[in-house]
Structure 1
Amino acid sequence: MTIADEITRVESFPVAPRWLFVRIETREGLVGWGEGSLEGYADVVRAAVDQFGEYLLGKDPSRIEDHWQVLTKGQFYRGGPVLASAVSGVDQALWDIAGKRLGVPVHELLGGAVRDRIRAYGWVGGDDPSEVADHIAAQMAVGLTAVKMNASGKMSRNGSVAELDGVVARVASAREVLGPDRDVAVDLHGRFTLATARRVVGLLEPLHPFFMEEPVVPENSHVIGHLVDATTIPIATGERLYSRQEFLPVLNAGIAIAQPDLSHAGGISEVRRIASLADTFDVQLAPHCPLGPLALAACLQVGFSTPNYLIQEQSIGIHYNKGAEVLDYVADTAPLAFVDGGFERLTGPGLGIEIDESAVRMASAGWERWQNPIWRHADGSVAEW
């Protein structure tokens, strides 16, 4: 049987600050881009993409679901962040090709648009309240109406009075600047024990956070229901969960917001299924995305076609971006411009953005591995970053 088109090349490019782009080319000259960024493990994911590429060469690029099934289930050992991230980059690139072949954005292939714009939030840093206020003012200046902030830096195991007071002071400073009509989400980043998280949510309830993110590490997801029951603050989690099966326990536990990462959780194909599963629990989607332009575009394509989509994280100007910015790799930045606190519906074919391939190849040639810092408690033991 002769196929209409076939995959002739699969490449991957680690680029600053900490991202991995995937490029798939077909015999007809179509090029699809995806993002398999796994912060701190770009080289490892790249090896997995190379192995997947050996299978994909000569295959029909339109058989996205079949390829997803083979790449996720074709080998006896499966799952985990590395393989799921490699699949994510491939999956996004295949959807990009499908949209470009038909001349339509991916959201039209997912059932069509259910909204015209998606609200976005920006990251703010700062170790003291005055810095938080300045950073929030900068986000408001570009039109955003929501921000997210880390609750703390390194946390002791049981949370000292000073540490908890510091969390409250920073969030209070944010609330003062934002007022009642804008939102602040608070990221615990898995740095808190369940007991400390239960203490801090009670202190923060009067400040009405938009949501409380990753209050416990994902391997302790079985206890997250105890926190859900202890507070009226919406609990969010999911950036380190990689499949529907891994989301099911936290959905059963009563989380309010699911945060799959389009570059970690199986790409567009799997996140669409996670969104549908979440909808049956009356849970909203707010995908994790402190990553590059391809991950952001993939998120938006899902968002424009997903009814239970709440808000979109984006990393333009985030403090992690050292050496490159989100829009540095995009030929035309207009589709990712902020409009009224978010993003307008993408109308270009495929993922809806055009990658500057020469910039990607140049950046990849000078790639330097990124690693998160290793933190330690006062007694010398490893602390959560």
Structure 2
Amino acid sequence: MKIERIETFLVPPRWLFCRIETSDGVIGWGEPVVEGRAEVVRTAIDVLAEYLIGQDPLQIERHWQILTKGGFYRGGPVLSSAVAGLDHALWDIAGKVYGAPVSSLLGGRVRDRARVYAWVGGDEPAAVADQVAEQVAAGMTAVKMNGSGRILPSPSVAEINDIVARLAAARSALGDSRDVAIDLHGRVGVAGARRILHAVEDLHPMFVEEPVLPEHMLHLADVVSSSTVPVALGERLYHRSEFVAPLNAGIAVVQPDVSHAGGISELRRIASLADTHGAMLAPHCPLGPISLAASLQVSFATPNFLIQEQSRGIHYNATNDLTSYVVDPTPFTWVNGHAEYNPLPGLGITVDEAAVRAADQNGHAWRNPVWTQEDGTFAEW
């Protein structure tokens, strides 16, 4: 069996899928994408496909090593995401060939269900409370929300109080038996992050995500030690070596993205590295159905798994949602805030190829917003 064809598809709202077909007719699907730069990753896939065509698809680790190290210049979001999508598709093929879910090929499941969280929005506390109440009514046991919108790198007292008020509204709607996490998105500086962590401490968030930017990692230990709030990050890190410093700084949760950090192969290794530091895995995944299916395969097989991000109903998906490109939505039906174990082979989903090909005819050119402060200077989105 050899790899015969590799195709990519730009599908709304902001995703890129790849399809690998073998000489035996086995097909694997992956989701290689950098949000806002999908076309660039598509080109990277074309270049990497030069190596993969004609190869045995079951030699996944061999291919991962060559795809990530075969070029003199390595890493970064574009190349790592391109490798990630190809890696998903190869694992999908392997599972279908062996008649087993990818989690079984990773050593077997260690849990029967994986906890997921839902995103909530709302600029005012009352709106936050209403959205959280809706998620509680739907059976969710955890939610995540942006800590703020546009904010000054050195936030004012009013801006910090707004964060606290919105988090307090979520906590009130959730009670003490459910969880809320907040995402700062690297929007504030180091000192601002310390002040925010201290301010929200009494509300006991499950974690505060990305309190500082990756380029400020030198000061991460100071941020982590400034409060008892668990710190999480990792969506903009692409290799296990990049997680060493934050783990040494004491972060509690790693958040690699299976579509950015080298795929299933590397996500599993990052989880193991985190385990040696007593940290938990909460895979980043505000993306499409293939990315989520790949993430869940790792989540079911990982002992130090905490919770899984998922994008069903998220604001990005106004035109197309998780179920738009799959034949059966059952794997993305949450039961009491959990994804049930999926015994189907490969990634456990059947991609609606006709829908994907039709969507690719129009494609997309999604770009993230570019924000500025009131004085015209750049603001982190």
Smaller-chain TM-score bracket: over 0.9
Work out the number of aligned pairs and report it. 381
| 1:381 maps to 2:377 | yes
Give the match for residue 26 of structure 1.
Answer: 22
Task: Report the alpha carbon displacement of residue 141 of structure 1 after superposing the two structures with TM.
Answer: 2.3
| 1:299 maps to 2:298 | no
Give the match for residue 90 of structure 2.
Answer: 94
Q: How does 1:272-351 map to 2 (within 5 A)?
A: 272-351=268-347
Q: 1:45 aligns with which of 36, 41, 46?
A: 41
Whole-angstrom CA distance in 1 between matches of 2:103 and 2:343: 9
TM-score (norm 2): 0.99
Whole-angstrom CA distance in 1 between matches of 2:320 and 2:218: 38
Aligned partners of 1:142 and 1:338 also within 8 Å:
no
Give the match for residue 76 of structure 1.
Answer: 72
Q: Unmatched 5+ residue regions in structure 1?
A: none
Give the match for residue 249 of structure 2.
Answer: 253
Which region of structure 1 is more displaced relative to structure 2, 255-264 or 318-327?
318-327
Moved segments of 4+, more than 4 Å: none
Task: Report the alpha carbon displacement of residue 263 of structure 1 after superposing the two structures with TM.
Answer: 0.2
Q: Deviations over 1:334-360 (max 9, x none)?
A: 122101211011110000011100111
Amino acid at match of 2:280: Q
Give the match for residue 214 of structure 1.
Answer: 210
Task: Report the alpha carbon displacement of residue 81 of structure 1 after superposing the two structures with TM.
Answer: 0.2
Whole-angstrom CA distance in 2 between matches of 1:225 and 1:299: 28
Q: 2:180 aligns with which of 181, 184, 188?
A: 184
Give the match for residue 243 of structure 1.
Answer: 239
Task: Report the alpha carbon displacement of residue 143 of structure 1 after superposing the two structures with TM.
Answer: 1.1
| 1:155 maps to 2:151 | yes
Whole-angstrom CA distance in 1 between matches of 2:114 and 2:367: 31
Whole-angstrom CA distance in 2 between matches of 1:180 and 1:159: 28
Q: 1:128 aligns with which of 120, 124, 128?
A: 124
Aligned partners of 1:16 and 1:322 also within 8 Å:
no
TM-score (norm 1): 0.98
Give secondary structure in 2 for the equivalent of 1:144.
Answer: coil
Give secondary structure in 2 for the equivalent of 1:372.
Answer: coil
Task: Report the alpha carbon displacement of residue 34 of structure 1 after superposing the two structures with TM.
Answer: 0.7
Give the match for residue 6 of structure 1.
Answer: 2
Which region of structure 1 is more displaced relative to structure 2, 72-81 or 154-163?
154-163
Amino acid at match of 1:258: V
Task: Report the alpha carbon displacement of residue 281 of structure 1 after superposing the two structures with TM.
Answer: 0.2
Give the match for residue 137 of structure 2.
Answer: 141
Q: Unmatched 5+ residue regions in structure 2?
A: none
Give the match for residue 359 of structure 2.
Answer: 363
Give secondary structure in 2 for the equivalent of 1:148.
Answer: strand
Give the match for residue 169 of structure 2.
Answer: 173
Whole-angstrom CA distance in 2 between matches of 1:88 and 1:275: 16
Task: Report the alpha carbon displacement of residue 165 of structure 1 after superposing the two structures with TM.
Answer: 1.0
Give the match for residue 259 of structure 2.
Answer: 263
Q: 2:63 aligns with which of 64, 67, 75?
A: 67
Whole-angstrom CA distance in 1 between matches of 2:169 and 2:38: 36
Aligned partners of 1:147 and 1:183 also within 8 Å:
yes
Percent of pairs with identical residues? 60
Aligned partners of 1:36 and 1:88 also within 8 Å:
yes
Give secondary structure in 2 for the equivalent of 1:21.
Answer: strand
Give secondary structure in 2 for the equivalent of 1:176.
Answer: helix
Q: Deviations over 1:166-219 (max 9, x none)?
A: 101100000000000010001001101111111111110111101000000111
